[in-house]
Amino acid sequence: MTEKIYIFDTTLRDGEQSPGASMNLEEKIQIAEILEEMRVDIIEAGFPIASNGDFEAVLEISKNIKKSTIAGLARAKIADIDRAWEAVQHASYPKIHTFIATSPVHMKYKLKKTPSEVLDAIKLTVTHARKLCPNVEWSCEDAGRSEIDFLFKCIELAIDCGAETINIPDTVGYTLPTEFGSIFKAVKNNVPNIDKAILSSHTHNDLGLAVANSMAAIQEGARQVECTINGLGERAGNAALEEIVMALKVKKDLMPFHTDIKTESITKASRLVSAITGFTVQPNKAIVGANAFAHEAGIHQDGMLKHAGTYEIMTPESVGLTESSLVLGKHSGKHAFNKKLQELGYDLGDNALMEIFGRFKDLADKKKEIYDEDLIALVGDRTLSYNEHIKLVSLSVNAGLLEKHEAKMTLEVDGSKKSATSFGNGPVDATFNAIKDITNYNFRLKLYQVHAITAGTDAQGEVTVRLEDDRLTSQAKGSNPDIIVASAKAYINALNKLIYKKSKSFSERPSELKVKGV
């Protein structure tokens, strides 16, 4: 039997900190459910003191999730720890994750504390957390740039005060795998009480080394890794869960460890996180990218036909990928439709099923051949379609070599229909102007991206839109065979998300939390 590596997923906390990726309560619960289904050991559900929205989400996830441990993040402050406990106390397995920075640059400029004041804060806060919660994790933020002797002292103290997990983050993604691994080795060899704690790795991808650093940490003693689905996370992101889990599975011969993750749920989790956050997965992304198992070159295809092992180090089925195939057409019934969705990993309730079935019929009227990817986009569209203050009712545009492009649009805004005819520099610009004219919202458009979901000129276009104002950002997708309609849907989805956030009046991070990696 090999040693177990605990998987600590922080998609809902560190992942959610990517600008535009924030999610609402229902979305967070959906993600937590799939993480539980995947058998993630620990779900970091949020940062309860950061906002009422964060608190509510951690509380609800704690009440709903039965099998995974639920962690809430807290700075080294009594108020943060109390709030984290308030949120996780109902969980079957609650955990408080508290942290303080230990690098000279963070202590001096961010915390304005001396090393001895940091030690005092560790003593006070870890002791307090441990009185509330039987399971406490302590992190030395920016450990990758901390002085090693000071790190030893902090870790020893945190363990003495009751921390059962010591998490070592490379907060700014600065270290090389050999360097990061040697921190774990040094900690194992120099912290006298280290055998009382589990060592954990938390890596960021600023140099593209997050997964490599996690693997190095495991080789030097880490038995927990912190990671996110699709590598979601601030800046260049966190270590990708799917890459670490599959690397451990594929390289069992060289790394004698295992995780409890049900790898067949990886694709479904990846798609859900992408649909909810609006963050498209790059096609060549390891494990979950659209091309991760596609063999295009003739020589590769020839090898694959002779023996899959020639070019495949793991099977698509092992990550839950089903063959992309022609599935249904406009004559398909609800039963076949539901069966296909179940094969794709979606188990929908009756209402959701009826709603998506209706959308499927509309799509089948426009598009002869419906593929798995089209169905996934339909489910993704529905995921984004609650909290709909604004709904698209009708849209017609004129495109072509015109001087002025015109969009005639009707929206339903909080139940009443409003129309506008607007102009712009191209049909998309005219469409977005119509939305702005009707709603009077004028957020900045920070990203506009289009891609075809499948091949063929009748393929659905999938559009991603990111909007922001001075405080908030939101990103969302929309799909339709007409890319102007897909653009309008993506814009409206992003707008609905921003309105939701404003109504909850939460800012993405209180300004003092707006530091790298936190």
Given the rule CB under 6 A, which residues bind ligand KIV? 14, 99, 139, 141, 167, 169, 171, 202, 204, 517-518
DSSP string spanning 163-232? -SEEEEEETTS---HHHHHHHHHHHHHH-TTGGGSEEEEEEB-TTS-HHHHHHHHHHTT--EEEEBGGG-
Q: Phi/psi at 488 (nearest 5 deg)? A: -60, -40
CB 181, CB 219: distance < 8 Å: yes
The verdict on 144 binding Zn ion (CB under 5 A) reads no
What is the smallest separation between the CB atom of 205 and ligand KIV, expressed in angstroms?
A: 11
**Binding to Zn ion, residues 359-378 (CB under 5 A):** none
- 168/378 with CB nearer ligand KIV: 168
Q: Residue 260 corresponds to which tokens in the numbers above?
A: 């409890």
Identify which range of 8-16, 187-195, 272-280, 403-411 contacts Zn ion by CB under 5 A: 8-16
- 231/517 with CB nearer ligand KIV: 517
Q: Residue 354 corresponds to which tokens in the numbers above?
A: 């009826």
What is the smallest separation between the CB atom of 454 and Zn ion, expressed in angstroms?
A: 36
What is the smallest separation between the CB atom of 518 and ligand KIV, expressed in angstroms?
A: 5
- 46/517 with CB nearer Zn ion: 517
Identify which range of 280-288, 416-424, 430-438, 509-517 contacts Zn ion by CB under 5 A: 509-517
Separation between Cα atoms, residue 445 and residue 439, nearest integer Å? 15
What is the size of the binding site for Zn ion (CB under 5 A)? Answer: 2
The verdict on 231 binding Zn ion (CB under 5 A) reads no
What is the smallest separation between the CB atom of 424 and ligand KIV, expressed in angstroms?
A: 41
What is the smallest separation between the CB atom of 268 and ligand KIV, expressed in angstroms?
A: 26
Q: Residue 376 corresponds to which tokens in the numbers above?
A: 């996934």
Residue 320's binding partner among Zn ion, ligand KIV, none (Cβ under 5 to 8 angstroms by kind) is: none
CB 71, CB 137: distance < 8 Å: yes
Separation between Cα atoms, residue 24 and residue 504, nearest integer Å? 10
CB atoms within 10 A of CB 247: 19
β-strand pairing of 326-328 with 370-371: antiparallel
CB 242, CB 9: distance < 8 Å: no
Q: Can you tell me which residue has the tokens 């998506």?
A: 356
Separation between Cα atoms, residue 490 and residue 449, nearest integer Å? 10
What is the smallest separation between the CB atom of 196 and ligand KIV, expressed in angstroms?
A: 20
- 184/360 with CB nearer ligand KIV: 184
- 103/422 with CB nearer ligand KIV: 103
What is the smallest separation between the CB atom of 101 and ligand KIV, expressed in angstroms?
A: 8
Distances (CA, A) of 128 to 48, 79, 111: 17, 11, 20
What is the smallest separation between the CB atom of 76 and ligand KIV, expressed in angstroms?
A: 11
The verdict on 14 binding Zn ion (CB under 5 A) reads yes
Q: Which residues contact 308 (CB under 8 A, 6 or more apart)?
A: 315
Residue 99's binding partner among ligand KIV, Zn ion, none (Cβ under 5 to 8 angstroms by kind) is: ligand KIV
**Binding to Zn ion, residues 74-113 (CB under 5 A):** none
- 171/460 with CB nearer ligand KIV: 171
Q: What letter would DSSP give residue 394?
A: E
- 243/372 with CB nearer Zn ion: 243
What is the smallest separation between the CB atom of 58 and ligand KIV, expressed in angstroms?
A: 15
Identify which range of 11-19, 124-132, 187-195, 278-286 contacts Zn ion by CB under 5 A: 11-19
- 88/328 with CB nearer ligand KIV: 88
The verdict on 16 binding Zn ion (CB under 5 A) reads no
Question: What are the helix (H) ranges across 220-287?
Answer: 241-250, 266-277
Residue 237's binding partner among Zn ion, ligand KIV, none (Cβ under 5 to 8 angstroms by kind) is: none
Q: What letter would DSSP give residue 107?
A: I
- 175/431 with CB nearer ligand KIV: 175
What is the smallest separation between the CB atom of 320 and Zn ion, expressed in angstroms?
A: 27
Separation between Cα atoms, residue 368 and residue 29, nearest integer Å? 35
Contacts of range 105-112, beta carbons closer than 8 Å, 24 or more positions apart: 105/142, 105/145, 106/141, 106/142, 106/515, 110/515
CB 74, CB 86: distance < 8 Å: no
Separation between Cα atoms, residue 246 and residue 238, nearest integer Å? 16
The verdict on 517 binding Zn ion (CB under 5 A) reads yes
Separation between Cα atoms, residue 255 and residue 269, nearest integer Å? 25
- 62/171 with CB nearer ligand KIV: 171
Residue 139's binding partner among ligand KIV, Zn ion, none (Cβ under 5 to 8 angstroms by kind) is: ligand KIV
What is the smallest separation between the CB atom of 515 and ligand KIV, expressed in angstroms?
A: 9
Q: Phi/psi at 110 (nearest 5 deg)? A: -90, -55
Question: By the criterion CB under 5 A, which residues form the site for Zn ion?
Answer: 14, 517
